[in-house]
Amino acid sequence: MKKSFLFLILIFTAFALQAQRNVDRTNFRAGINGGFVLGDFSEAYSFGLGIDVTHHWGVSKMLDVGVASGFFNAFGSEETITGDAIFIETEFSNLQYLPLGASFRVYPGKNVGFKFGGDVGYAVGINEGNEGALYYRPTLGIDLRDGSNEFNVSYMVVNHDVQFSTVMLSYLFLF
């Protein structure tokens, strides 16, 4: 048993050393995002702004894994419904999420700044009446300025009884 345990530790250490020799893209990223609300909520919310915060570890030449968080605020709009002798005006309050999840990025080629990946986790509802739910966010990105900045396009979905979805553009700074 002791020999098996030592053998496993040796194997994992060898893989870790090999991964470090191949790539070191370990980084912290922070930036801003903005997007348009789609689907079920598109009439009540038109656009949103937020921040992204991630930390990735390069585990191979093609793969980074990490954690993701941030904040997203969808701005409520005013709706006016008029009928025969009826005039109804309502204002929707802002919808706010704090996503907490796991993240991965795949780099399909050598020395290519293009990447794809995603985040998955739980989006905590911040405002009153917003319980939060499972979220996922597929992402396409490209490195800018020799890899010190990133621009990406993503589609975030928070899936509860009804689905909140938004298409976002993000600009991130790598530290």
Predicted TM-score (pTM) of the model is 0.79
Which pLDDT does position 173 carry in this prediction?
95
Cα separation, 73 vs 39, whole angstroms: 16
What's the structural domain count of the chain? 1
124: helix, coil or strand? Answer: strand
Measured in whole angstroms, how far is the alpha carbon of residue 84 from the centre of its chain? 45
Encode pLDDT of 64-103 as tens digits: 999 999 999 999 988 877 877 788 888 889 999 999 999 9
Whichever domain contains 102, its CATH number is: 2.40.160.20
Range of the domain at 155: 24-174
Encode pLDDT of 36-53 as tens digits: 999 888 888 989 999 999
Which pLDDT does position 8 carry in this prediction?
47
Residue 2 forms part of a structural domain:
no
Residue 6 forms part of a structural domain:
no
3: helix, coil or strand? Answer: helix
